[in-house]
Every structure is written in structure tokens, then in C-alpha cells.
Structure 1
Amino acid sequence: MNLADAILGDPETLALIDGDAQIRAMLQVEVALATAQARLGMIPDDAARAIAAAAQGLIPDPDEMRKGTASAGIAAQPVVNALKSACPDHAGHVHFGATSQDIVDSALVLALREALTLLAARLQAVTDTLDRRADDFADQAIPARTRFQNAMPTTLGAKIAVWRAPLVRDSERLEELRPRLLVLSLHGAAGTSAAFGENGPALRKALADNLGLTAPDLPWHATRDTMVELGNWLALVTGSLGKMGADLILMGQSGIGEVMAGAGGASSTMPQKANPVAAEALVSIARLNAGAIGTLHQAMIHAQERDGSALAIEWAVLPDMLVRTGAALRLAQDLVETLRPNADLIEASFATDRGMMMAEAAGFALAREMPRKDALALVARALRAVAEGAAATLPDALDDIAPRDGGWSAFLTPDHTWGEAAAMARSGADKGNAPTT
């Protein structure tokens, strides 16, 4: 047991891809294979019925599964042996013509279909909640910061809309990926379908129909690009959520405290602290998946028709990436739902800045009346006056240097200088930075 799984793990996702789920999926493939072969006259009907009945109540011994996998180097063999033992009179028709990799890969695809349904639903929930929160805080002014420095005003809603945009694209990417990923594997020992004779194409079509998958023309035992593409997608999702987590950590840190989210974790010795545990976990998961995708790419270096060393990399890396993504989406949902601005501390941030983050707006306003170079020189002079204590705020300094009707204080306010931020927050439901036409 890894205690960190309480933070970085997700039981619901794990249950869809763990050992028990793999065994159920492999048995499902074997039953569907036997059913399709009986329909094509490749095995007797009573054999297919017996295989289905045996599989229905079969609960293989976990120790035997582990020992068999260690011996064979692949999980399908001990499952097949258990199924043969459960219907001894028809053992010769179990797994007829298939190779272990066919069963493992087809079962993997079935498990991934269930896992991705869960992840897609969570992703949509996070996206919808972000959309709602962006609208809630469309007009909540907050400092924008570039390279950890105050830049200019924006709104909290605009920041949330930026978090949401890549997640919308990730949903689109997943729909594009599904047809490439949800593909049956059934080409036999060396990928030639020799054991199926002339029935190969018809058998693949029948089995794919039984399982709700697509039948491929070529084997993919040794071409793992779609599994790596899935890993890339998982890393994209967690990377986007990691960016949100990093922003929440920075906005909630001591001395800023402008935005809080989640309950916070207690320190064992410093009772004043509320550690941003969930936001930190989003960053950790993003970095773990970013590292894992590099390792998963190694599984593409797959020698000849099948390479156990490449397959083992995929088996070790991809499940953890899936579980971590489930965890990240679960944590993100809670953070977004509980996100709340601290208006007093946001106001304090603006007050401490003394109007200097409105310098760009002042420069553009002055440039309407004089050459841009001269306008920037005036703003630079006003900023020096604030820095040296000769003026309390940038508007005060500009009132002395370049007076304007109504005064600079009325003009240099967040809502006059945040540009399209509020509008972007309200248009967040538009499609994640889709180009305008």
C-alpha cells in the first residue's frame, strides 16, 4: 500500500483497469471470440456455449494469475489456462487460433473504453464548472502577473476562462482519438492470421461487432502509436490542470491570498497554515505524467513482430497515467467548486501597487495626444516619482506631470484598464480559443 495514493490515486479509475478488470475483459474477449467462431463454423456451437458458461462464473485465483504471468511474461496465458480448466471437454476450442497479445490488447481497449468514459465525464464536469465560475467572476478585478511581477489588471473570470480553454480542446482531442484507439486486436501469433485460414477478415469483423470495436486490416501488436497518443492526451489534460494548480498556489500564498480553493491541509507544527494540498497534487500529477510520457514513448521502439521489453514498459506506465488523470480531474472539480476570491486582499494588492500596473494604459492614453516616444517618457518620469516617494500613486504623479480633464484617478481604474478581460470571461463557453471567422 502506498499512502500517497490517497492524494495521487483514484479508486474509481483504478477499478476499471486493475487486475480484476483486466481478467474480466480478457474473459469477455475469449467468450466473444468463441461466439464469433461458432457463428462462422470454426468451432462447434456447444463449445462456444460451454466456454461462455464457464467464463461467467470464473474467478481465477490471484496467486495463480501472478505466477502464470511471471512465467509466461504476459497476463493472457494464465487466464486462458484457467478458462480451459473450467471447461475441460472443450478446452481445445478455447482461444482457438488467437495469440496472447490479441487477447491482452483487445481487453486493454475494452478497459480503456470504460476508463475514458469516466475521464471524459469528469473532464466535462470540470469544464462546465469552470465556465460557470468564469461568468461568476467576470467582473472581479485582480492583478495579472507576468514572470511573477505585477503586470496590469485583469479579472478572475478571465483567468478561469484561460484555464478552461485547453480542457475544451482536450475533449475534442479525445473524440478524435477514440476511433483510432478502440480497435480490436486479432491477427494471431506473428500477425499473419494464418491460424484462421480464409476466415480471418470475417472473424475480425464478427468479433469486433460483438465487442463494439473496429476491425483493423493490419495487426498492431508491434505498433503502439495509439497507446502513446493516449498517453500524450493524459499528459495534456493533467498538464492543463497542473497550470491551474500552480496559479491557485501562487494566488493563495502568504502575502497575496487573493484567491482560495479547497479546504487546505493543516501543518503538524504551524497551526496558522492551510497548505494547498489539492492544488499541489495537481502540479505533482502534471509533472509525473509529463515524465511518464517520455518513458511511454520508449514502448514504440518495438522490435520485429512482438517485443516483450517494449510491451512491459506500456503495461507499467500507462495504467498509472490513467489513474493519476482520474485523480487530477477529481481534485480539480473540488477546487473549482470551492474557489473564492478575497476581495479585501485583492484590493490591498492594488493599493500596494499604487497604480503602477496601469502604466501601459497611461502610455497609450497619452500617445493619442503626442508621439509615442514622448508619452512613454512621461509615464517613466511619473513612475520614478512614485518610486522616489514624490507622489503617492501613479495617477497622482501624472496629475502633476500631464494633467487631464477629470483627473487620472478616474481613468486609471481596473475596470477601465482590463481590456477585454470581462468579455473573455463571459465568452468562455465559446470553444477554447477557436478562431473567429
Structure 2
Amino acid sequence: MSLTAFDSQITGLMFTDSKTSELFSDDAVIKAMVQVESALAAAEGACGVIPKEAAAAIEKTCARARIAPYRLAEGTAKDGVPVPALVKELRSQVDKDHARFVHWGATSQDIADTGLVLRLKAVLDLHESALTRLARTLGDLAQAHRNTPVAARTRTQQATPTSFGLKCAVWLSAILRHLDRLPGLRERLLTLSFGGAAGNLAALGDKATDVEAELAARLGLSISPAPWHVMRDSLDDYANWLTLVTGTLGKMAQDVMLMAQNEVAELKPGSGGGSSTMPNKVNPVGAEVLVALARQNAGLIATMHQAALHEHERSGSNWAIEWLTLPQMVLATGAALKEANTLASELVVRTENMRANIEASNGLLLAEAAMFALADHMPRPEAQEKVTKACRVVNETGQHLFDVLKDSYDLPIDWNGLKDPACHMGASDQMIDRVLESFQKLAEKA
């Protein structure tokens, strides 16, 4: 029986990405913690804290250790953390003379937190790659459709013409900011957790910082100036980033869904899902999932911030809240990136319908342009009043707005030329260029 939609055999494929999920499996959690224990023994052996023979024996045992998750279940339920049971298992596999040196001077949180960071390091690589693929696809769409007019919509209503390429560039601009945040995020997040019993590594005496430096180097992590057992801002920073990413993907998906409605039909989101009773239905399932995952993370981020309130030098309850919350956020983001890449790569752009929807307004989408054209010949308030009056005529008669204005006012304005919506896309070209240049610069830095 599955307890969440993420690990359900029924819904799991819809809400997860296999590569991200693998890094949060029980086996991956154990493997990462064993990696930390192995590196700890090696670092302590190199620094003369434990005998080199003991360090070698522990490393050898860790390399071949295969600890089944169920072996840690009872101990975790009793101790509130899996590390004591893990250490017991490792000690049972190391020869008797060296077993006592397993986990020397460390505390459970050192092993669990550092193991988490090692897994998040791999997750960040996965998600950065997925974001970059999505950015490339959106960049191609922005370039290909820079001259494709589409109705912009504000407060759900048609506003003025814009460029569909610019719409894609707007989506892309947020993706680029998320990529730009990653180096700083990595610097803050990928940090060794190593403080010992109460955060001061007292058990390691005058070799404490030497072991810390050696351990960090072996694991490819940086060193925190002070222990972060109870200061979880880096994890919250990461959770914020996850929420921003899924929020952007959800916004993009929501736009696609609205533009794919039958009455609008400006986009077709690739393949879709069917109905159990209506053969005509092609539901935008991928886009729906993206919106759901965005809202899921938006709710969970509040819980992550609640979990930041650790008391004194160790908190069991707030630490456990992280275990309940952060994996869901990471899995949701992995799934969202998978769905977003599929959605963007399969997106069908119906340019003829975009143009038809603009034309169907009989020029009402060009009311702003009409007002500014008149404002060259009269005060703007007067121009606005005349266009407002003409809009009422359009609604009553079905005439084109510019034909109404042409017949009403004898002014030297090329109303027929102004009917082309492509004339009213403003600085879309320059804005698209700026976003694409930003992507190019980011790619060059990487």
C-alpha cells in the first residue's frame, strides 16, 4: 500500500521523475550516509586521530556494505534517527579490533545532514540540466515566433496585440534567473555538517579542525564557519528556490492551458489525456500537473520555514518536519521539470488561430493604437473619448474600429496600414533579444 502520490504505483509516474526519485530512495539515503562514515574514518586516519589500519578497515567495510533499509527501521523508530542503527550495522561488519573507531567523534546529525547534502548536490546537477534544456527550447520558440502576433490578455480579457515570441521570452527570463541563482545556492548549500555532540567537536581535541578540513575535501564540500545543525537557512534557501522554479513552470503551464481552450485554440500542448465518457476530450494533463505541483510547493514552503525554529543545539521535532517536507518539494520539482520539458518540446503553435482571434475583435484590440494615432492630431483625453465612442459603435454594428474612425474623422491617418497587428507589438524584438543575449551569456559562463 502506498501512502503518498509520489510512491504510488498508480500515480507515481505522473508526479515523479525517476532520476530524482532514485536519490531519495532508502537505498540512496543509506549509501550517502555510509559514504560519509567512510570518508570520516579516512580523514581521521589521515590526521592521526584513529589508527590508519582501523581507517583502512572501516573504508573497506563501507565499500562493500549492503545494508537493507528494514535493518534500520526499528532503531530509527526508537532513536528518532537512522544513524545509530547504521553505525551498529557497520560495526558488526568491521573486525573486532577496529569496530570501535566507526563514527569516532561524530554525531548522528553530522552523518544524516551531510548525506543529505551529498544527495542534493546530485539533484542540483540533474535539475540544472533540465532547466537548461527547457531554456533552450523556450529560446527557440521565442526566436521562431518573434514576429507572430497574439492577443495579450490582462485580467483575463483581451488587451492589445503582442508577440508570442515575447510571451515565450517572458517565461524564459524567469528560468534564466533561476539558473543564475544556482552558483550562490550551491556555495551556501553544499557545506559539510560536522559539529559532534554539541557543535564544537570537543571529542576530537586539537585535531578537530584538521579532521573537518580533510573530511570536507574528501567529500567535495565546503566548510561552514560555525556548525549549522540548528541554523537551517541554507536548506530554506534551497526550498525557496524549488518553490520559485515550480511556480514559474506552473505559470507557464497555466498560460498554455488557457491558450489551448477549445474556444481559443492558439496552442495545442502535444499529446493529452482522454475522458472515460467523452471521446472528444483531449485534456492537458501535463500542464495540469505542473499547476498542481506549483501549488503543492507553495504550500510546503511555509512548513519548511516552520521547521527552521530549532531549539538550542539540537532539535528532534523540527528536524523530522524537514524529513516530511523537503523530499516532497524536491520530488515535485523533478517531476515539474520533466513535465515542462515535454510540454515545451511538444507545443504546437497555431499562428493562424492567433491571428484569427485578433481579427475577430474587429479592431478593438487596437483601441490603444487608435487613441495614440488620434492623439497626434488632438489632445489625448479627446482622442480617448472619441475611441471609446467608436468602440461602442463597433460592438453595435460589427464594423472594424478603424473603419468607424476613418468615416467619422477626416484626418491624415493611414488606418488601413494600422490594421496589421504586427505594427503594434512595441519593443518586443528588443526585449526578446535582451533575454536571448542573457541566455547566451549564462551559457558562456557555464
Q: Same fold (TM over 0.5)?
A: yes
Matched, 1:259 2:245: no
Equivalent of residue 326 in structure 2, options 304, 309, 318:
318
Equivalent of residue 30 in structure 2, options 23, 29, 48:
23
For 1:430, the equivalent position in structure 2 comes to 437
For 1:78, the equivalent position in structure 2 comes to 85
Matched, 1:98 2:106: yes
Q: CA deviation at 1:354?
A: 1.0
Q: CA deviation at 1:171?
A: 0.7
Q: 2:163 touches 2:428 (CA, 8 Å); kept in 1?
A: yes
Superposed counterparts of 1:26-175, under 5 Å? 26-89=33-96, 90-175=98-183
Q: CA deviation at 1:287?
A: 0.3
Q: 1:17 touches 1:115 (CA, 8 Å); kept in 2?
A: no
**Number of aligned residue pairs:** 432
For 2:5, the equivalent position in structure 1 comes to none
SS at structure 1 position matched to 2:312: coil
For 1:211, the equivalent position in structure 2 comes to 219
For 2:228, the equivalent position in structure 1 comes to 220
Q: Aligned partner of 1:108: which letter?
A: L
Per-residue CA deviations over 1:191-233 (Å, capped at 9, x if unaligned) read 1211011111111001001111112231111111110110000
For 1:190, the equivalent position in structure 2 comes to 198
* Consecutive unaligned residues in structure 1, runs of 5 or more: none
Q: CA deviation at 1:406?
A: 6.4
Distance 1:416 1:217 in 2: 58
For 1:409, the equivalent position in structure 2 comes to 416
Q: 2:149 touches 2:421 (CA, 8 Å); kept in 1?
A: yes
Per-residue CA deviations over 1:226-280 (Å, capped at 9, x if unaligned) read 1011000000000000000000000001200111122111111111111000011
Q: 1:17 touches 1:112 (CA, 8 Å); kept in 2?
A: no
Per-residue CA deviations over 1:124-177 (Å, capped at 9, x if unaligned) read 111111111110111111100001100000111110000011110111111111
Equivalent of residue 241 in structure 2, options 230, 233, 248:
233
Q: Aligned partner of 1:349: which letter?
A: N
For 1:270, the equivalent position in structure 2 comes to 278
Matched, 1:294 2:302: yes
For structure 1, which segment, 343-352 or 320-329, has the greater mean C-alpha deviation from structure 2 after superposition? 343-352
Q: Aligned partner of 2:246: which letter?
A: T
Which segments of structure 1 move beyond 3 Å, counting only runs of 4 or more? 403-407
% identity of equivalent residues? 42
SS at structure 2 position matched to 1:189: coil
Q: 1:134 touches 1:428 (CA, 8 Å); kept in 2?
A: no
Distance 1:217 1:374 in 2: 66
Per-residue CA deviations over 1:28-57 (Å, capped at 9, x if unaligned) read 111111011011111111111111111111
* TM-score of the two chains, using structure 2 as the length reference: 0.94
* TM-score of the two chains, using structure 1 as the length reference: 0.96
Distance 1:108 1:386 in 2: 63
Distance 2:430 2:336 in 1: 29
SS at structure 2 position matched to 1:152: strand
Q: 1:183 touches 1:216 (CA, 8 Å); kept in 2?
A: yes
Superposed counterparts of 1:328-339, under 5 Å? 328-339=336-347
Per-residue CA deviations over 1:55-105 (Å, capped at 9, x if unaligned) read 111111221112221111112222111111110421110000100000001
SS at structure 2 position matched to 1:287: helix
For 1:395, the equivalent position in structure 2 comes to 402
Distance 2:432 2:26 in 1: 44
Q: CA deviation at 1:400?
A: 1.2
Q: 2:37 touches 2:102 (CA, 8 Å); kept in 1?
A: yes
Distance 2:416 2:391 in 1: 15
For 1:279, the equivalent position in structure 2 comes to 287
Q: 1:144 touches 1:152 (CA, 8 Å); kept in 2?
A: yes
Q: 2:39 touches 2:219 (CA, 8 Å); kept in 1?
A: yes
Q: 2:152 touches 2:161 (CA, 8 Å); kept in 1?
A: yes
Equivalent of residue 16 in structure 2, options 6, 9, 14:
9
Q: CA deviation at 1:407?
A: 4.2
SS at structure 1 position matched to 2:437: coil
Q: 2:145 touches 2:164 (CA, 8 Å); kept in 1?
A: yes
For 1:364, the equivalent position in structure 2 comes to 372
Distance 2:205 2:390 in 1: 85
Aligned-residue CA RMSD (Å) = 1.4
Q: Aligned partner of 2:137: which letter?
A: T
Q: Aligned partner of 2:80: which letter?
A: G
